[in-house]
């Protein structure tokens, strides 16, 4: 939502690679904006990624990849809000078993202000949380944006599927203006 999550993820990937360390990048297969299994940022950076869906056994996948490449030193996950509870727990096991960092990038809540399952479990189990900040898109507001509103064909949407991929369909607002625009909270 214009906070630079994917850019920051790709910068972390670059930093590890520049120091001769390999990384594993994961992206949900439902996010096919730049092609399936690709993480890209609005500023033009991109990198291939391993696709995951709700039935992906991330622990087994990572374990297999580490068994064949002991130089993997970090796991990076884009759109982490889409992870399942089990996948979040598997990523915790990866971190604890292999003693390598797992860095997840995503948003907390959907367009209705409700937590995503992946985000809820990351909030519960993460060792560390770092918030990337962006500014409310309402007129001249300079408050921190913490909420997203969904638009389809330019019209505000307040009902629908929880997961609907597409950066051009969302705008970010502070809670005050999200409430004013959507009437949801």
Residues assigned a catalytic role: 79
How many residues in the chain?
185
Handedness of CA 121, 51, 134, 161 (dihedral sign): negative
Q: How many distinct helices (H) and strands (E) make up the chain?
A: 5, 9
Beta strands in the chain (DSSP E): 22-28, 38-40, 46-48, 50-52, 72-77, 102-104, 147-152, 155-157, 170-173
Is beta strand 147-152 parallel, antiparallel or unpaired with respect to 155-157? antiparallel
As a whole number of angstroms, the distance between CA 139 and CA 142 comes to 9
């Amino acid at each position: 939502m214009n906070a630079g999550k994917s850019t920051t993820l790709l910068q972390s990937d670059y930093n590890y690679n520049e120091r001769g360390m390999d990384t594993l990048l994961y992206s949900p297969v439902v996010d096919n904006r730049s092609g399936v299994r690709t993480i890209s940022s609005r500023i033009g950076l991109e990198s291939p990624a391993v696709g995951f869906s709700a039935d992906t056994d991330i622990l087994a996948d990572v374990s297999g990849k580490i068994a064949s490449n002991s130089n993997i030193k970090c796991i990076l996950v884009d759109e982490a809000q889409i992870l399942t509870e089990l996948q979040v727990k598997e990523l915790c096991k990866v971190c604890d078993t292999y003693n390598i960092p797992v860095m997840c990038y995503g948003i907390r809540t959907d367009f209705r202000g409700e937590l995503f399952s992946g985000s809820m479990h990351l909030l519960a189990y993460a060792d560390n949380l770092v918030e990337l900040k962006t500014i409310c898109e309402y007129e001249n507001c300079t408050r921190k944006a913490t909420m997203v509103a969904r638009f389809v064909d330019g019209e505000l949407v307040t009902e629908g599927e929880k997961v609907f991929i597409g950066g051009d369909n969302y705008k970010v607002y502070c809670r005050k203006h999200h409430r004013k625009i959507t009437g949801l909270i």
